[in-house]
């Protein structure tokens, strides 16, 4: 199966994204409908461009194929030319198709992915400017967003870093002060930055973030995380996001391995998150997407499925309990059968129902969907060496 994953990655996923290059305006097209036709006038978000930067950089590091490094540079150049604020620091939320800034909000979530992309690009290209930008973003987040008194990170700001309400990561009518989503991706970003820089102050902040996560985000009684919180870290949404929990389980394991820091309370937490996902969020290869209006397991979501494959595989390699290997295999099989778009030129659908019919509200490519989750899933399978 691993040979099939390699073929799927190189013959299905990568060619689709190669076709999304915007040769006229730079970067990659911001949107492609389910009909696979790129929207040449789609907005271009910093999160998506940073994820593309990370993915192509990681692909180059794995395959040493210079075409992947070339595509990484396309994303890097667009970020630097249009989305990176050289005056006030940080990356903007979104530009138009031609590079005009249409939302100059600074959000820690977007800064995190910029760090993640810049750090991986440095490891691939040895471009010192990329590492410098990643370090500058780290410093800016710590100076502008981190409140030592509350041991918390404010998430959303104006262009010149004035704190505002967290509207960009709000769900429905709820505007949380803090989100688990931002917290885990900040840990992910700092872990990558530590790999590229070996800075001890970065390692120290990773430790602080890990402690904040286990103290605030993890609910021991439910063996799951809350998703959104008010300014006092009281949960304002009690639903479980199994996709984020299973992603968190392996990302925090990765962070602990990278910085060589394995306190019991964290290792117990990552185990609990994976075990609870298998027990309460897994339905014969389908992971409950957490959509409150639907029955559990009714809808398959591309990133949830991809992260579950990695999370279950990671937990199997820690415990040697074959139930997790089987869950990884079954989840991968369902994903490859139903989420993958089997049309010529297709990639992965955002979401499908149990029959494999795609939800029409979402594009194949858009500002929240790049090649980050599925490229990473494939690379993790190939690197870990288990036969799925």
pLDDT digits (tens, 9 = 90+) for 294-343: 465 679 999 999 999 999 999 999 999 999 999 999 999 999 999 999 99
pLDDT at 293 over 60: no
Q: Please give the Cα distance from 145 to 287 (Å, whole number).
A: 33
Half-sphere exposure of 358 (CA within 13 A, CB side): 21
Looking at residue 172, its pLDDT comes to 65
pLDDT (average), residues 142-147:
98
Q: Please give the Cα distance from 202 to 299 (Å, whole number).
A: 38
Q: Please give the Cα distance from 283 to 338 (Å, whole number).
A: 14
pLDDT (average), residues 112-118:
98
- Domain ranges in the chain are 1-42+282-388, 44-168, 177-280
Report helix angle 264-280 to 302-319, nearest 10. Answer: 120
Helix or strand (DSSP H, E) at 300: strand 299-301
Three-state DSSP class for 163?
Answer: strand
Q: What is the DSSP string of 16-67?
A: HHHTTB-TTTSSB-SEE-TT--EETT--EEHHHHHHHHHHHHHHHHHH--HH
pLDDT (average), residues 351-365:
89
Partners of 31 in the β-ladder:
39
pLDDT (average), residues 102-115:
98
Looking at residue 387, its pLDDT comes to 74
153 phi, psi to nearest 5 deg: -115, 115
Q: Please give the Cα distance from 379 to 253 (Å, whole number).
A: 17
Q: Contact, 312 vs 320, CB < 8 A?
A: no
pLDDT at 292 over 70: no
Partners of 300 in the β-ladder:
352
Long-range residue pairs from 202-205, CB within 8 A, at least 24 positions apart, any chain: 202/138, 203/259, 205/138, 205/142
Q: Please give the Cα distance from 90 to 86 (Å, whole number).
A: 8
Tell how strand 224-225 and strand 282-283 pair up: unpaired
Beta strands in 131-208 (DSSP E): 146-147, 152-153, 156-157, 178-179
Three-state DSSP class for 358?
Answer: strand
Tell how strand 38-39 and strand 299-301 pair up: unpaired
Partners of 219 in the β-ladder:
224
Q: ∠137-138-144 over CA atoms, to 5°?
A: 80
**Helix residue spans in 260-355 (DSSP H):** 264-280, 302-319, 322-334
Quick one: which of 123, 117, 33 has its CA closest to 83?
Answer: 117
Helix or strand (DSSP H, E) at 121: helix 108-125
Question: Above pLDDT 70, what percent of the chain?
Answer: 97
Looking at residue 296, its pLDDT comes to 58
152 phi, psi to nearest 5 deg: -145, 160
Quickly count helices (H) and strands (E) in the chain: 13, 18
Q: Contact, 219 vs 226, CB < 8 A?
A: yes
- Condensed to tens digits (0 to 9), the pLDDT of residues 32-81 reads 998 999 999 999 999 999 999 999 999 999 999 999 999 999 999 999 99
Half-sphere exposure of 80 (CA within 13 A, CB side): 17
- Condensed to tens digits (0 to 9), the pLDDT of residues 222-232 reads 999 999 999 99
Q: Please give the Cα distance from 266 to 47 (Å, whole number).
A: 28
In angstroms, the Cα distances linking 202 to 138, 162, 264, 346 are 8, 24, 22, 39
In angstroms, the Cα distances linking 385 to 29, 75, 243, 356, 379 are 34, 29, 23, 29, 10
Does CATH place domain 44-168 in 3.30.43.10? no
Which region among 143-147, 204-208, 291-295 has the lowest average model confidence (pLDDT)? 291-295
pLDDT (average), residues 75-103:
98
């Amino acid at each position: 199966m691993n040979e099939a994953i390699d073929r799927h990655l190189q013959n299905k996923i990568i060619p689709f994204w190669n076709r999304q290059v915007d040769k006229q305006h730079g970067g990659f097209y911001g949107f492609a409908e389910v009909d696979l036709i790129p929207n040449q006038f789609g907005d271009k978000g910093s999160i998506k461009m940073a994820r593309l930067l990370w993915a192509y950089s990681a692909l180059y590091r794995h395959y040493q194929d210079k075409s992947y490094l070339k595509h990484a540079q396309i994303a890097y150049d667009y970020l630097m030319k249009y989305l990176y604020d050289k005056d006030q620091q940080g990356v903007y939320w979104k530009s138009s198709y031609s590079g005009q800034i249409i939302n100059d909000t600074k959000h820690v979530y977007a800064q995190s992915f910029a760090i993640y992309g810049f750090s991986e690009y440095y490891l691939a290209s040895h471009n010192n400017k990329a590492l410098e930008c990643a370090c500058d973003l780290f410093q800016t987040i710590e100076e502008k967003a981190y409140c030592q008194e509350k041991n918390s990170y404010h998430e959303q700001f104006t262009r010149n870093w004035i704190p505002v309400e967290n509207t960009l990561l709000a769900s429905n009518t709820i505007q949380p002060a803090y989100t688990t989503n931002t917290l885990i991706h900040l840990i992910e970003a700092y872990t990558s930055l530590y790999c590229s820089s070996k800075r001890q102050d970065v390692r120290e902040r990773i430790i602080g973030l890990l402690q904040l996560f286990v103290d605030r985000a993890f609910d021991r009684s439910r063996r799951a995380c809350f998703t959104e919180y008010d300014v006092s870290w009281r949960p304002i949404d009690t639903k479980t996001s199994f996709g984020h929990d299973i992603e968190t389980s392996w990302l925090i394991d990765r962070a602990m391995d990278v910085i060589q820091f394995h306190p019991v309370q964290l290792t117990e937490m990552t185990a609990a998150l994976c075990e609870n996902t298998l027990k309460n969020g897994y339905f014969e290869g389908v992971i409950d997407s957490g959509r409150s209006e639907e029955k559990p397991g009714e809808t398959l979501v591309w990133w949830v499925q991809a992260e579950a494959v990695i999370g279950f595989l990671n937990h199997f390699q820690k415990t040697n309990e074959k139930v997790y290997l089987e869950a990884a295999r079954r989840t991968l099989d369902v994903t490859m059968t139903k989420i993958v778009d089997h049309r010529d030129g297709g990639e992965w659908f955002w979401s499908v129902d149990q029959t494999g019919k795609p939800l029409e509200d979402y594009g194949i490519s858009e500002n929240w969907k790049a090649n980050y989750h599925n490229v990473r899933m494939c690379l993790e399978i190939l690197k870990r060496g288990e036969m799925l």
